Amino acid sequence: MTIHKILAIEPDGLFQNFLRELLTDNFELDCVENWHDAQSYMKEAPTSCVILTEQVPDAEYPEVLSTFKKMDIPVIMVSGSSDESLALEATKLGALDYHTKESLSPRTLQSSLNHVIDLHLALQRESQRQAAMASPALSSSCSFLNWPALHFPALASFCNGQLCIFQL
């Protein structure tokens, strides 16, 4: 059984404890309160996924999402707001899933983490496979996901909060 290391960037200690209660033995959760601490943590520990809130005290979440995207680390955005425009913006900037804090339950969070980690690993494997084939016709980026050089023909869409990949 694989233990996935999860980093949560969340300034609220009570919500950090809530996240810890939601996760099972398959996940090891570490929490930091700000972007500076997250950057230090990332230099020391490999991470399977990041849980990010839009309330990062020392940075703007778009900057944080962009950095994790460049580092090829999947992100789940969690917000206290049910504003659909925030969810859309977060996913356009690279978040692979989005939840409101009120909607989180053990099943929801664990399912989301498993889904995002599995999707990320599948995308990495497919990207590596296609890169090995070195086909110029498949080397364009998937602009809908806004994820550079995925190297596979697919259409991605969000359906009821879930990322759906349709193989072409």
pLDDT tens digits, residue range 4-20? 999 999 999 999 999 99
Exposure string of 115-134, with b = 16+ CB inside 10 Å and e = fewer, is bbbebbeebeebbeebeeee
Residue 69: closest CA among 100, 90, 41? 90
Give the pLDDT of residue 134.
65
Average pLDDT, the chain: 82
- Per-residue model confidence as pLDDT tens digits over 113-155: 999 999 988 888 888 888 788 655 444 444 444 444 443 344 4
**Closest Cα partner for 60 from 95, 39, 40, 34?**
34
